[in-house]
Amino acid sequence: MDIYRIKGGKKLSGEVEISGAKNAALPIIVACMLADGESVLRNVPDLMDIRTIIKVLEFLGAEIDFNKEKKIVRIQVNKIKNGEVPYELVKTMRASVYVMGPLLARTGEAYVSLPGGCAIGERPVDIHLSGFEAMGAEITLEHGYIKATAAALKGTSIIMRKISVGATANLMMAAALAKGKTILENCALEPDIVDLGNFLIKMGAVISGLGTDRIEIEGVSKLNPVNYTIIPDRIEAGTFLIAGAITRGNITLKNVIPAHIKSLTETLGQIGFDIKEDKNSVHLGECRKLKGAMIRTLPFPGFPTDLQAPVMSLMTSIPGISVVIETIFENRFTHIPELRRMGADITIENNIAVINGGQKLSSAPVMMSDLRAGAALIIAALGAKGTTEIRRIYHSDRGYEKLSEKLSGLGADIVRVKGGNP
């Protein structure tokens, strides 16, 4: 397995281009199955999860060409050959469940293995399934697979029991070709959902309420293939801002939508960092007197749970007490034992972490447990004394495109070592 070897203490400076949003690209790629013909997607990041979902669609019968240098994916759909998605294709990624909506809408059946992904707590698919049942599908679970069948999906009113980005996306895709009007309530407000909705509208879907907790979809009989550009990745943007902050650097993010990371830039400003925004860029500059802060993870537009672990690494370097309250996932503190190995003073009680910051971390061998915990360890290593070796870096490959190259371009001393110790 590859490892990262990072020598800390290098101040980051310069410009970095933010890639397309993984969490928008995944459902949009899947949504191409809703229309026959060729759709062309631009600004698609080259990530492990993207390659996995492409394999899933190819298994279902799509012909796909991914130009990784130009970040363009061409998806040709003529006929959906399979309604089954096997475990081997989905064991590493939860987003594979997205194919259920398009498969039910187009073919009336889906047979999908229960998905895998990061071990960060409960992310139930029952919200997806209860929505499909409300639209007329019959759902059974057998041998680790979800079997769904429907003669024809029908529009209805669905109140999701909790906010779910995945369920909002899946039910939107299914409803786009259902008969009649579907009203989804308690919807996710994330930019990724808005991007998917805009993509579906460009295909010919009739959707209103994007960006609110109530979305209405009037089903149509046919959708058309289109050209579309994916939005920038707000989590990648936030990760680089935090990396710049822990090194007390001076960096500029290009190809970013500032409104999408407002909760983070406001937090960094409260801590004492100078943040300047332009239309498509964000600059992190000289810091003032730094002080601790408190964050509570919340659905968008609140502080994203995907940046909770990275910002905690930053907080270890900030003098005083900082507090992190995790409200989205019940098992998202797996990075804390590894940070403690590097000298972090962090205490946990239930879903609350208290960070006694201001001490410089020191290098230690550490191990990624999931995608965003991995980002936290990379950030910690950038600010630590000495050289840190990070194992299981395949987790970061799922969500960060050319991460070591981009960090090196900002001045980080980071090397990816092929075949390092696991």
Dist. CA 308–CA 298, nearest whole Å: 10
**Residue 32 falls in the annotated catalytic set:** no
Q: Which of 32, 118, 187, 287 is catalytic?
A: 118
Residue 36, burial from CB neighbour count under 10 angstroms (0-12, 13-18, 19+): middle
Contacts of residue 166, defined as CB under 8 A and 6 or more positions apart, other chains included, come to: 94, 95, 97, 98, 123, 125, 127, 128
Provide the token pair at 386: 């000495």
Q: Decide the pairing of beta strands 273-277 and 250-254.
A: unpaired
Query: CB 421: neighbour CB atoms within 10 A?
Result: 9
Dist. CA 18–CA 15, nearest whole Å: 10
What is the per-residue burial (b if ≥16 Cβ within 10 Å, else e) of 293-314? bebebebbeebbbbbbbbbbbb
Sheet strands (E) in 43-144: 63-67, 72-77, 84-85, 109-113, 138-142
**Cβ-contact 398, 48 below 8 angstroms:** yes
CA dihedral 177, 183, 187, 191 (to 10 degrees): 50
Dist. CA 379–CA 233, nearest whole Å: 18
Dist. CA 245–CA 262, nearest whole Å: 16
Measured between alpha carbons, how far is residue 57 from residues 31, 105, 169, 227, 327 in Å?
10, 15, 17, 18, 34
Residues tagged active-site: 118
